[in-house]
């Protein structure tokens, strides 16, 4: 049995992606780690950053992004597929540049891959998510944020990244930009495993969070208008869960020590300042979250999962 890690990157360091921590969190588990590195801005030093990883497992594929052909965020899926196409493993472990695995979960992941290696009915594994927000002490795991998602897939030609690369889907006869296609596609048959994705996409210095949000707007074809204040406002962190009963991955410890924007975070006042209100801040969803947590034992009211649990 062999496992390939894979991801895509561009402008990783300037947008404060914890890419070294992400890759190193599973480097011992995988037999290779394939990275589609897109041509970035003039000051992009992603390749220089990756050179700090001293391992012959790293395989870099140079790419050029095409946001005109792949709009609506589908360039993310396109880049994911490029990296996937260069993987040679039986199982493919996908980690985005802001996702990290805890060392305590590695054995669970390896055992699952070994146990289902010959069970072709199982096409992937679903992980539980912790979405950290503002800092490393607050997170979301509720109705407004996906609680589970596919991160390991079997190496099958018809399995493609889907929509904006959050998930995967079986898309036969794939042609060009089929990343939003539903007709003639199906969900993967997956097993839920007791392993976590520590998602740090919303833990950045406020200036970097503003830059990341504006970049995402452009990549989704929403324009580049400046809808934010000088720095990103994280809103009231008292709307978040408090992370106090477990530890972060060991590879994240130095980055956690370097957090220096505590004084910009707040726990009172307006829901948000000088930015659009986010889904989790709306009264409707705060009520839904209360019902799910307090009355339904965290069972979801509706919602969509792009996988079928077996």
Domain of 223, CATH number, reads 3.90.550
Enter the tokens of residue 179.
């990343």
- pLDDT-derived band at 226 (thresholds 50, 70, 90) equals low
**pLDDT > 90? residue 298:** no
**Overall average pLDDT of the 70-79 stretch:** 97
Distance CA(107)–CA(101), nearest Å, equals 11
**Overall average pLDDT of the 49-63 stretch:** 97
- pLDDT-derived band at 245 (thresholds 50, 70, 90) equals confident
User: What is the pLDDT at residue 91?
Assistant: 98
* pLDDT above 70 coverage of the chain, percent: 97
CB 69, CB 84: distance < 8 Å: no
Mean pLDDT of the chain: 94
**pLDDT > 70? residue 225:** no
CB 139, CB 240: distance < 8 Å: yes
Enter the tokens of residue 85.
């196409």
**pLDDT > 80? residue 254:** yes
User: What is the pLDDT at residue 61?
Assistant: 98
**Overall average pLDDT of the 179-186 stretch:** 96
Contacts (Cβ under 8 Å, ≥6 apart) of 260 = 205
Distance CA(215)–CA(13), nearest Å, equals 14
Q: What is the pLDDT of residues 90-100, one digit of tens each?
A: 999 999 999 99
Distance CA(293)–CA(310), nearest Å, equals 25
Q: Taking Cα atoms as reference points, which of 126, 38, 103 lies closest to residue 252? A: 103
**pLDDT > 90? residue 290:** no
Q: What is the pLDDT of residues 125-162, one digit of tens each?
A: 999 999 999 999 999 988 899 999 999 999 999 999 99
Alpha helices, DSSP H, located in the chain:
19-24, 46-50, 74-85, 106-115, 206-219, 253-257, 283-294
Q: What is the pLDDT of residues 15-37, one digit of tens each?
A: 999 999 999 999 999 999 999 99
Distances (CA, A) of 100 to 13, 49, 125, 131, 192: 16, 17, 16, 11, 18
CB 12, CB 96: distance < 8 Å: no
Give the start-end residues of each E strand in the chain. 3-9, 32-38, 58-63, 91-94, 99-101, 124-133, 138-140, 148-154, 159-162, 167-170, 188-202, 241-242, 307-309
Distance CA(92)–CA(33), nearest Å, equals 10
- pLDDT-derived band at 224 (thresholds 50, 70, 90) equals low
**pLDDT > 90? residue 307:** yes
Strand partners, 131: 140, 199
User: The whole model's pTM is what?
Assistant: 0.96
Enter the tokens of residue 164.
């904006």
CB 55, CB 29: distance < 8 Å: no
- pLDDT-derived band at 68 (thresholds 50, 70, 90) equals very high
Residue 226 lies in domain = 1-310
**Overall average pLDDT of the 286-301 stretch:** 79
- pLDDT-derived band at 227 (thresholds 50, 70, 90) equals low
CB 26, CB 95: distance < 8 Å: yes
Residue 4, helix vs strand vs coil: strand
Overall domain count for the chain: 1
**pLDDT > 80? residue 64:** yes
């Amino acid at each position: 049995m062999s496992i390939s890690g894979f991801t895509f990157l561009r402008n990783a360091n300037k947008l404060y992606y914890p890419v070294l921590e992400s890759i190193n969190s599973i480097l011992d588990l995988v037999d290779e780690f394939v990275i589609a590195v897109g041509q970035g801005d003039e000051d992009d030093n992603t390749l220089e950053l990756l050179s700090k990883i001293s391992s012959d497992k790293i395989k870099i594929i140079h790419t050029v992004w095409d946001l005109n052909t792949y709009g609506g965020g589908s360039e993310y899926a396109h880049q994911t597929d490029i990296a996937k196409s260069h993987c040679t493993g039986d199982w493919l472990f996908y980690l985005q540049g802001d996702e990290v695995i805890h060392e305590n979960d590695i054995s669970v992941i390896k055992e699952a891959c070994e146990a289902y290696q010959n069970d072709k009915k199982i096409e992937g594994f679903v992980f539980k998510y912790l979405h950290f927000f503002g800092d490393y002490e607050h997170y979301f795991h509720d109705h407004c944020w996906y609680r589970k998602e596919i991160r390991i897939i079997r190496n099958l030609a018809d399995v493609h990244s889907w929509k904006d690369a959050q998930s995967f889907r079986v898309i036969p006869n794939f042609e060009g930009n089929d990343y939003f296609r539903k007709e003639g596609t199906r969900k993967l048959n997956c097993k839920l495993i007791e392993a976590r994705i520590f998602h740090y996409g919303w833990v950045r210095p406020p200036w970097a969070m503003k830059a990341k949000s504006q970049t995402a707007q452009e990549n989704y074809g929403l324009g580049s208008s400046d809808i934010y204040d000088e720095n990103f406002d994280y809103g009231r962190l008292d709307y978040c869960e408090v992370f106090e009963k477990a530890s972060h991955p060991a590879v994240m410890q130095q980055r956690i020590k370097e957090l220096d924007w505590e004084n910009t975070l707040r726990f009172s006042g307006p829901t948000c300042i000088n930015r659009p209100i986010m889904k989790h801040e709306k009264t409707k969803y705060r009520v839904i979250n209360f019902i799910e947590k307090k009355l339904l034992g965290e069972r979801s009211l509706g919602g969509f999962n792009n996988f079928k649990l077996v």
